Every structure is written in structure tokens, then in C-alpha cells.
């Protein structure tokens, strides 16, 4: 294999495993983070690589608002 062919092969391998040139996200990582919804007017998938662009975090509140008792999920939580 010639030197040019081996360099071309390495470049092609790097491009497949590296971030997309359009969205700048790696193929196996999470998308851009957003709370509750995708921003208005934003695309859901990258036109270059087709992967989802957004990871939506949904915030859920347990119990009554302002109640910090243990029965409704509030109070002192300790990490194991």
C-alpha cells in the first residue's frame, strides 16, 4: 500500500469516528442539553449525520407545592 493510500485510509477512519462537521457532536455522545422542550425553530436531527441533536431533560416535581414532608417526596434525601 502506498503512503498516500494509507494516509487517506487513516483520515477516512478518523472522520467516521470523530464529531460531525455540521453539528460538532460525537456519534456516541449525548446531544445538546435542554430543559423541558427543544428550542423553538431548532432542528431535531442533524442534516449532516442524521443523529438527534437534543437531549431533553424533563423536570418532574413530586407532591404538593411547598410541602417538604417525607410522604410527598420532599425532605432530607441522603446519597447512599
User: Which of 33-37, 50-54, 68-72 shows the lowest mean pLDDT across its residues?
Assistant: 68-72
The residues near 34 (Cβ < 8 Å, ≥ 6 apart) are: 54, 55, 56, 57
Handedness of CA 55, 56, 62, 67 (dihedral sign): positive
State pLDDT tens for residues 9-50: 776 766 666 788 888 888 777 889 899 888 899 899 989 888
Amino acid at each position: 500500500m502506498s503512503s498516500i493510500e494509507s494516509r487517506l485510509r487513516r483520515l477516512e477512519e478518523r472522520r467516521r469516528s470523530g464529531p460531525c462537521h455540521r453539528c460538532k457532536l460525537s456519534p456516541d455522545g449525548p446531544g445538546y442539553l435542554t430543559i423541558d422542550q427543544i428550542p423553538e425553530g431548532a432542528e431535531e436531527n442533524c442534516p449532516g449525520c442524521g443523529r438527534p441533536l437534543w437531549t431533553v431533560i424533563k423536570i418532574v416535581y413530586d407532591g404538593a407545592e411547598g410541602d417538604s414532608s417525607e410522604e410527598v417526596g420532599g425532605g432530607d434525601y441522603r446519597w447512599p
